[in-house]
Chain A
Amino acid sequence: MSVAQVASSGSSASESAAEPEFLEGSEAIARAMISAGCRFFAGYPMTPFTEVLEAMAKHLPAQGGSCVNAESELEAVGMAWGAAATGTPAATGSTGQGLSLMQESLAEITYARLPLVVLNMARAQGDYFQATRGGGHGDYRHIVLAPKDVTEAVYLVQEAFHLAAIWRNPVLVMGDYYIAHTWQSVSTARIDFGPEPDRSWALDGATGGTGKAKLISPIADTKRGDDVGYDLAEFYGRRGAELDVMGREVQPRAETGFLEGADLVVVAYGTVAQYVREAVANLRADGAKVGYIRPITLYPFPTEVLRNAASSAKAFAVYENNRGQMIEDVMLSVMERADVRFIGGLSVDSSGFGIAPDLDVTSVRARIQTTLEEIS
């Protein structure tokens, strides 16, 4: 089926043909979520998240799901929490500020061991710490995925539902203005990630009155009836150990390029990395010894990939559209085996969330070139 045919047949999310369709990123992400099984979504408008919410409101009811226009991000995450507790594949999201409002719940949802997909259609890249350190209280972690474009977003959003279900843990997908608004030819058909995990933990009311009614709580999974009750020290210890296992067993992922013989390795994630990769490719073509690493999982961070590169590279340059956040993870990975420099910086237009003026291959190339001269 050609793109033109798809457009004229007015295909809906339910059809989600395997053939690519020409879609705006937000629409593609929404369709991918529905293909992945998402049946509950709640959100509150904020650019560039708004269009994902609009698309979910449009498509989800026809699939028997619910999309609720929440009163605020506090309620949006609460509603998604409730839906997730019933075993319904659920998602919410926002943009940095909205995610800030949700943090208390995101922390507790993690302790309560619930699967949830959260989108941060971020403005620039200032939310790296919020995403990877957890903006909320306590000892917890979320799996964080950072696509570079619409095609990868469609894949990772679907994988996020799978990872969330497997680990019973929130999974955060980082998008941005570019991913939300770029039109691209992309397939949003369901991707099979293997068998669906057990959902027998989910609430449906049926165990009431049996003497063994279920409890889903961020402070306990034991009840007074088992002569245990609340033991927060025990519970947090056990939950923390489960999170450690998740951090060890989720496969960290990165895209690499031109690492062979590279003296300088440039590290970037998300949309920004596409510009970096192009600049690195140009420099390589001109004979410069420069390579590239793009973390795809921000947590767990692809430490090994960076560490291996550090055994031969002299230096690392980190390009982020912020004042330097991921650079801390790069430093922790490289551990003084090589020099680590920051070559990024916040770049936003007057709206604060649109096109970044510095995101331009020539200007990125110039910064890398300067670093190459400094280290030679």
Chain B
Amino acid sequence: MTTRSLPIIESTSAPTQAAKLVDDFTPGLINQGAHHLCPGCGEPIAMRLIMEAVEELELAQKTIAIFGIGCYTAYSNNLDVEVLQALHGRAPSLATGVKRSLPDSLVLTVQGDGDMVNEGLQEVLHTMARGESVTCFLLNNGVFGETGGHMTAATVLGQRTKNSLEGRTAQEHGYPIVISDLIARLDGAAYVARGAVNTHTNVARTKKMVKEALAVQTAGLGGSFVEILTMCPTGWFVDTLDAPDYLNDNIEPIHRFGVVLDRSDDSRHHGAGR
């Protein structure tokens, strides 16, 4: 594997001033901008764009966010929207209970691929199948990042993880689940899209998807779902700077970027519950 160090900026003279912080931007609805996740992790970017979408749609005072367990759990106590922390795998059923009790609220879940596609697969499938008016976000990095880089049901063939050391093979480990495509087959789902945070254009396009999904919920059209491919340089065992390209070259060809299902024009399609 190639190792690449940070680019060195050529300079002929010594700095005249000590380094100082020129910008300390903390996104709205995130309490503390500085995070403890790995450098190059895609999850803070995904969290930021979800929160920016909530803020821009002026939904902050209606929002209840339900978190699964993974590295992103670092955000469940770091947001300025109301949060309900769930168990590993169980966020969509909590979301159902919240939404049924507060039909006018905006209910969203944040889960990883380990949480959603492994531990709690039936939760998200049934929630979307019922057409529950909630929005489920999947931060898919193809590994259990939190436990140290283990294979999930979403890990693509060929990917090296701590329990697929020579790369995932169909014979030994079985095939991956391409979850957005599966969910798009469910009658209750109204909007399903897959984005990524590996380039600034993808971030912008993904934010549109997030907004679209939240709008589908607000309109009560059914279940909405956005998968966001995120970088996990640590769990992928690649250099931080290589992670965005790694995502593009290895993960995106299987988990394809784009809107998979959109029934937002079908006003007869509606969600379950009251």
Contact = CB atoms under 8 A, between A and B. Distances in A.
A86 interface: yes
B222 to A, nearest CB: 16
Interface string A206-233: 1111111111111110111100011000
A216 B105 CA distance: 16
A217 B31 contact: no
Interface stretch (B57-65, B211-219, B255-263): B57-65
Interface in B84-101: 84-87, 90, 92-101
A72 B62 CA distance: 29
A219 B99 CA distance: 23
B66 interface: yes
B60 A86 contact: no
B157 interface: no
B87 A105 contact: yes
A229 B98 CA distance: 24
B177 interface: no
B90 A213 contact: no
Contacts of B186: none
Given A205-B61, A213-B79, A225 B122 contact: no
Contacts, number: 162
B83, B93, B122: residue with the most chain A Cβ atoms closer than 10 Å: B93
Contacts of B126: 71, 75
Contacts of A112: 85
A313 interface: no
Contacts of A80: 97
Contacts of B102: 86, 203-205
B185 interface: no
A246 B130 CA distance: 39
Contacts of A29: none
A219 B86 CA distance: 10
The secondary structure that dominates the B interface is mixed
A39, A77, A208: residue with the most chain B Cβ atoms closer than 10 Å: A208
B100 A217 contact: no
B161 interface: no
Given A39-B101, A205-B106, A222 B77 contact: yes
B141 interface: no
Contact of B83 (A83, A206, A213, A229): A213
A254 interface: no
B80 A211 contact: yes
A215 B77 contact: yes
A74 interface: yes
B77 A207 contact: no
Given A105-B90, A209-B61, A215 B95 contact: no
A265 B111 CA distance: 55
B81 A83 contact: no
**What are the 5 closest A-B residue pairs judged by CB atoms, nearest first?**
A82-B97, A78-B93, A217-B85, A225-B31, A209-B60
26 contacts: A40-B101, A68-B96, A68-B97, A72-B122, A78-B86, A78-B93, A80-B97, A81-B97, A82-B66, A82-B97, A83-B97, A85-B84, A86-B97, A88-B101, A90-B101, A205-B62, A205-B64, A205-B82, A208-B63, A209-B81, A216-B83, A216-B84, A222-B77, A223-B78, A225-B32, A229-B77
Interface of A: 39-40, 42, 66, 68, 70-72, 74-86, 88, 90, 104-105, 108, 112, 203-220, 222-225, 229-230
